[in-house]
């Protein structure tokens, strides 16, 4: 169950030092390249594929319209830790509103953690951006519970499955996308010829696939 608590606003230290922009960009680019390589590499035997340490997500409670001030926070996630190894399945159980979906969003970096660390193949997801973060999101996916409301009824199954390729064009160039979508349909046991069908033409089980 989410809790609320009053928080005091701490003064943040100010750093007047201005780094050389070109040096920062060079370091960031090199670090990003190393992170992408680590994310795409196979996980080492005996090493966890996912590590979560003291993960915290607090949503601020504010007061006022023009001049908002923080008067507290909702503790959606408050100090969760676990290790997940390749081939394992982990279940997070709790009542509605206890933070399960928030944990999933944090693992995808769709929500920014208030505190804590999330390591995927040794890379801290909370500190990634750009190409490195996109590489993580190619390897971590969310499957929504309701197959009837999670699919856009105006899009064909080919458009829905192919949409991630617009975000990750390096995975499937435009000329190969139709073929890749048909291959994915075949992998989950659906006829590749269904590529132009709409969600309402599938059963609930087919939609989940």
Q: 30 lies in a domain?
A: yes
What is the reported pLDDT for 74? 86
For residue 172, give Cα distances in angstroms to 130, 133, 181, 194.
18, 18, 10, 20
What is the reported pLDDT for 53? 92
**Among 42, 25, 12, 13, CA closest to 121:** 42
Are residue 86 and residue 112 in the same domain, yes or no?
Answer: yes
Are residue 55 and residue 121 in the same domain, yes or no?
Answer: yes
Are residue 121 and residue 200 in the same domain, yes or no?
Answer: no
What is the reported pLDDT for 28? 62
Are residue 79 and residue 44 in the same domain, yes or no?
Answer: yes
What is the reported pLDDT for 52? 92
Domains of the chain: total: 2
What is the reported pLDDT for 55? 92
Are residue 31 and residue 132 in the same domain, yes or no?
Answer: yes
Are residue 132 and residue 192 in the same domain, yes or no?
Answer: no
State which residues form the domain around 180. Answer: 157-208
What CATH code is carried by the domain that includes residue 115? 3.40.50.300
What is the reported pLDDT for 126? 84
What is the reported pLDDT for 1? 45
Q: Which of 112, 139, 166 is the last residue of a domain?
A: 139
By DSSP bridging, strand 123-124 and strand 69-84 are unpaired
Q: 144 lies in a domain?
A: no
Are residue 34 and residue 71 in the same domain, yes or no?
Answer: yes
Sheet holding 115-120, edge to edge: 3-5, 69-84, 50-63, 115-120, 123-124
What is the reported pLDDT for 54? 92
What is the reported pLDDT for 29? 60
**Among 138, 110, 94, 68, CA closest to 2:** 94
What is the reported pLDDT for 23? 36
Tens digit of each residue's pLDDT, the chain (209 residues): 444 444 444 444 444 443 343 333 333 666 777 777 777 777 777 888 889 999 999 988 888 788 888 888 888 888 999 998 988 888 888 888 888 889 988 988 888 899 999 988 888 888 877 888 888 888 887 776 676 777 888 888 888 888 888 878 777 777 788 888 888 888 888 888 888 888 888 887 788 77
Global pTM reads 0.60
What is the reported pLDDT for 32? 73
């Amino acid at each position: 169950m989410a809790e609320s608590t009053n928080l005091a606003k701490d003064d943040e230290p100010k750093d007047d030092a201005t780094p050389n922009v070109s040096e920062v960009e060079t370091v960031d680019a090199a670090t990003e390249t190393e992170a992408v390589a680590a994310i795409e590499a196979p996980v080492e035997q005996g090493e966890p594929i996912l590590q979560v340490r003291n993960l915290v997500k607090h949503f601020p409670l504010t007061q006022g319209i023009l001049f908002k001030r923080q008067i507290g926070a909702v503790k959606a996630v408050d100090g969760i830790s676990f290790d997940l190894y390749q081939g394992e399945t982990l279940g997070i159980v709790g009542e509605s509103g206890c933070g399960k979906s928030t944990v999933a969003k944090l693992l995808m970096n769709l929500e920014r953690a208030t505190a804590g660390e999330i390591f995927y193949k040794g890379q801290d997801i909370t500190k990634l951006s750009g190409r490195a973060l996109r590489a993580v999101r190619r390897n971590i996916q969310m499957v929504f519970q309701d197959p009837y409301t999670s699919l856009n009824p105006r899009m064909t199954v080919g458009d829905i499955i192919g949409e991630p390729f617009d975000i990750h064009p390096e995975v499937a160039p435009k000329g190969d996308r139709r073929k890749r979508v048909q291959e994915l349909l075949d992998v989950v046991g659906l006829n590749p010829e269904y590529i132009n069908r709409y969600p309402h033409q599938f059963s609930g089980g087919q939609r989940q696939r």
